[in-house]
Homo-oligomer: A and B are copies of this chain.
Amino acid sequence: MLVFVGLGLWDEKDITLRGLEYVKKADVVYVEFYTSKLSVGLKELERAFGREIKMLERKDLEEESYKIIEEAKMKDVVILCAGDPMIATTHSALMLEAERAGVKTRVIHNASIVNAVCGLTGLHNYRFGKSATVSWHRSRTPVDILRQNLSTDAHTLLFLDLHPRPMKIRDALEILFEIDESLKDLYAVGIARAGSDEPIVKCDKAKELLYYDFGEPLHVLVFLAKTLHFMEYECLREFAKAPEEIKALVC
Chain A residues with a Cβ under 8 A of chain B = 4, 6, 8-9, 12-18, 20-21, 84-87, 89, 92-93, 95-96, 99-100, 107, 109-112, 114-116, 118-119, 122, 124-133, 148-149, 151-152, 154, 195, 231, 234-235, 238-239
Residues of the B chain whose Cβ atoms lie less than 8 Å from the Cβ of A111: 6, 16, 84, 109-112, 115
Give complex CA distance A19, B114 in Å. Answer: 18
Do residues B118 and A86 form an inter-chain contact, with CB atoms below 8 A? yes
Do residues B129 and A231 form an inter-chain contact, with CB atoms below 8 A? no
Do residues B6 and A87 form an inter-chain contact, with CB atoms below 8 A? no
Residues of the B chain whose Cβ atoms lie less than 8 Å from the Cβ of A124: 89, 92
Instruction: Indicate whether A110 sits within 8 Å of B110 (C-beta atoms), given known contacts A16-B16, A132-B126.
Output: yes
The A contact surface, by secondary structure, is: helix
Do residues B87 and A115 form an inter-chain contact, with CB atoms below 8 A? yes
For the complex with contacts A13-B18, A13-B21, A126-B130, 16 further pairs of A-B residues with Cβ separation under 8 Å are A6-B111, A87-B125, A92-B122, A92-B235, A96-B235, A96-B238, A99-B239, A107-B119, A114-B114, A126-B131, A126-B132, A126-B133, A127-B130, A129-B129, A130-B154, A148-B152
Do residues B118 and A115 form an inter-chain contact, with CB atoms below 8 A? no
Instruction: Indicate whether A122 sits within 8 Å of B96 (C-beta atoms), given known contacts A18-B13, A84-B115.
Output: yes
